[in-house]
A and B are shown apart, each in its own frame.
Chain A
C-alpha cells in the first residue's frame, strides 16, 4: 500500500527566502507525481506534474524534482513571497489512475 509522507508539517520563513519542501513515498512504482497548492477553504490547484520518466519540472519560481528510485520529491520555491502562504500537497499516482496524497506542508511566508 502506497504511503506518502511530507516533511515538515509546517514551515515559517521570512519573505525572500528560498525554501524546500519534501515528499517521500514508499512504492517507487509510480506513473507520476503532482504538487498541489491549497488555500484555506479552497480546493486544490495543480502546480507541477512530473511524469515518472522525468527528473524535474519548472514553473516560474517553482521547481520540482523527482527521484523515483529513492522514493523522493522536492519542491523548491525561490524568493518566497507572502502570497505563497498556503498548504502544499504532494500526490503520487500508481495503478488505476489513483492519486495518493500526503498530509501536506503548511507554509507561512512572513512580510
Chain B
C-alpha cells in the first residue's frame, strides 16, 4: 500500500514570497489533515478535510494560508505572503475508516525555510 505522498520535500523562499505544498493521501482515505510542526514542538493542526469539505480550520491563519482538496483526493496548502515565523515542517496525514477508530498515516513532510 502506497503511503501519503508530499512534495516538495524542501523549499527555501524569501519573506513575502508565496509557496505551495501538495499532498496525495492513501487511496480511499476520506479524512485529510495538514499540520504545522515548528522545530522542537509537536505538530499543530492547521486544517482538516472530510472528503472535499472543511471540518476544522480554526487554527489556519486565513489572511495568508489557504488550502483546498478538490475532488476529495489530493490537497494543496498555500502560503502567501510568507513570514519568517512560517518556517516549519508541513505534515500531511490521512485516515481511513469511519469515526475515530483509524490510525493516522503521515507523509514525510515538506520543510519550509523563510529567509
Contact = CB atoms under 8 A, between A and B. Distances in A.
Interface residues of A, number: 25
Most buried by A among B48, B103, B105: B103
Interface of A: 4, 31-32, 34, 36, 41-46, 49, 51, 89, 91, 93, 96-104
B45 interface: yes
A16 B45 CA distance: 36
Interface of B: 4, 31, 33, 40-45, 48, 55-56, 91, 93, 95, 99-101, 103-109, 111
A101 B109 contact: no
Given A42-B109, A45-B106, A46-B105, A98 B100 contact: no
Given A42-B108, A43-B91, A97-B48, A34 B43 contact: no
B55 A96 contact: yes
Contact of A93 (B4, B40, B100): B100
Given A43-B109, A89-B42, A101-B43, A32 B48 contact: no
A88 B100 CA distance: 21
A93 B41 CA distance: 18
A13 to B, nearest CB: 21
Nearest to A31: B100
Contacts of B108: 41-43
B48 A98 contact: yes
A99 B33 CA distance: 10
Contacts of A34: 103-104
B31, B33, B95, B100: residue with the most chain A Cβ atoms closer than 10 Å: B100
13 contacts: A4-B42, A31-B100, A44-B93, A44-B106, A49-B103, A96-B55, A97-B95, A97-B100, A98-B45, A100-B45, A102-B42, A103-B40, A103-B41
